[in-house]
Amino acid sequence: MISQFMQTLDDFSIPLFIPSQAKSLAEQFAAQQPTPQKATQVYLNTLAVCIVNNYLRIMGIPTNLTTGDSWNPSVRLYADVADLEVVGRGRLECRPIQVPEDLNSTACSVPGEVQSDRIGYVIVELDLEQELATLLGFVETANDSISLRQLRSPDELLEHLLSSPQAETVPTSVNLRQWLQNTVTTGWETVETLLSPAEPSFAVRGGETAVIENPDSVASVIRLLDPDQSEEVRAQAAGDLGYMGVSNSTTINALTELLATAEDEETRWQAALSLGKLDPNHPQAGIRRVRAINLTSKPNSEQVALMVAIMPKANDRIGVWLQVEPLGSLTVLPGGLALRVLSMSGETRLQVEARSDRQGSGLDRTIGRRFSPPPETGFQVQLQFGSMIVTEDFLA
């Protein structure tokens, strides 16, 4: 901030770096617009929303980034909107001003379509050259413009949001440790409920497949867990024990021993997930849940299954295995479908994208990532396909 007037806001304004993920989303949304002017508007609005979203999450205020009009492709096309839903409170409008274009401005214009149905208006100064955003302050209500001289501090914004009338409390993060206590989070189903009779792959490595002369013989499968077998065979056999559904002390002991002795991570995952099927209360049992994700906003659109598996690990950690598979009529994942793991501030930590051939047809049956976050760590899982973005919050 260079002008004398803007310097008066320095006492309470908050500078933040513009994350690369925010820039990527803003560029994508802008590219969908019919004119350069509209593209610039959408680009700046998206950055402002992402910046406020990241700030509120850092400060412990739950938000839902993808439910506002600013994330709706149709609304973005005809309206000048930059709204962010604050969970249980309402919608916050995030209005951008740009350096140096608005350097000498003492007010921020407010479009008519956003002058109502808002719990507040936050002004975000964007310095694109320096990749820096500054939260200048907020007001509770607005007409055609907001005088920057009337802005209240970001600290008061937090107080305002916390004191706003609250609807019924809504869980904002999925506590994964509750899954280990057999507590199913609303919206997340067991694999059998969503995908039965088909099973998800959570596949072991390709190459070898365990050959079982008698599929009904648990003993023959348990023998394939021996250390002299290849890891591919051992992992396959461990998974087969879960699908066979025979829960007795022999099977449970074999899987428990495999977890204690196997060094291969995939073998351990298959053993833990089978324990979860056969003995959900076992202290080493792995749990997995799944939910269907629409790839577009249209009714009856194509869907994919987002699967999240967890298993206990050493030092009070849990392992997390994310996987995305086609659902319904889809046989492969569409090319370009991205799976990301983000920090709660929106920084990308892990990412994988479904591949496509030269004709644009998908090549992958599944994509996924595994990791082990420290205890009590929050993170986000994000699926993106074109303008469709779904983000889920988790607590490890």
Question: What domains lie within the chain, and their CATH numbers?
Answer: 4-163 (no CATH), 203-283 (1.25.10), 288-395 (2.60.40)
In angstroms, the CA 89 to CA 396 distance is 26
Residue among 76, 85, 90 nearest 31 (CA): 76
User: What value does the mean pLDDT take over residues 261-281?
Assistant: 93
**Kind and range of the H or E run holding 77:** helix 73-78
pLDDT of residue 57: 85
Higher pLDDT, 298 or 207: 298
In angstroms, the CA 307 to CA 383 distance is 12
What distances in angstroms separate CA 222 from CA 204, 210, 212, 229, one per listed residue? 17, 11, 10, 11
387, HSE (Cβ side, Cα atoms, 13 Å): 23
Phi then psi for residue 258, to 5 deg, are -65, -40
pLDDT per residue as tens digits for the range 318-332: 999 999 999 878 899
Cβ–Cβ under 8 Å, residues 290 and 191: yes
* Full-model pTM: 0.58
How many of the other CB atoms lie within 10 Å of CB of 168?
5
What is the percent of the chain with per-residue pLDDT over 90, rounded to a whole number? 56
User: What value does the mean pLDDT take over residues 375-386?
Assistant: 91
How many of the other CB atoms lie within 10 Å of CB of 145?
13
Amino acid at 193: T
pLDDT per residue as tens digits for the range 280-298: 889 999 999 998 888 875 5
What distances in angstroms separate CA 284 from CA 181, 236, 386, one per listed residue? 12, 19, 39
Cα Rg of the chain, angstroms? 25
Report whether pLDDT(198) > 50.
Answer: no
Report whether pLDDT(234) > 90.
Answer: yes
User: What value does the mean pLDDT take over residues 220-230?
Assistant: 92
Q: Is 209 exposed, middle or buried (0-12, 13-18, 19+ CB in 10 A)?
A: exposed
Report whether pLDDT(27) > 80.
Answer: yes
pLDDT band at residue 7 using 50, 70 and 90 as cut-offs = low
Which residues make Cβ contacts (< 8 Å) with residue 228, sequence separation at least 6? none
| Sign of the Cα pseudo-torsion (323, 324, 326, 331, in order) | negative
Most confident of 51-65, 125-139, 202-216, 283-297: 125-139
pLDDT band at residue 51 using 50, 70 and 90 as cut-offs = very high
Q: Give, in degrees to the nearest 5, the angle at Cα 67 between 129 and 344.
A: 60
User: Which runs of consecutive H residues, i.e. helices, occur in 165-230?
Assistant: 176-179, 191-195, 218-223
In angstroms, the CA 226 to CA 262 distance is 10
Cβ–Cβ under 8 Å, residues 60 and 50: no
Report whether pLDDT(171) > 80.
Answer: no
pLDDT of residue 261: 92
Cβ–Cβ under 8 Å, residues 46 and 22: yes
Report whether pLDDT(167) > 70.
Answer: no
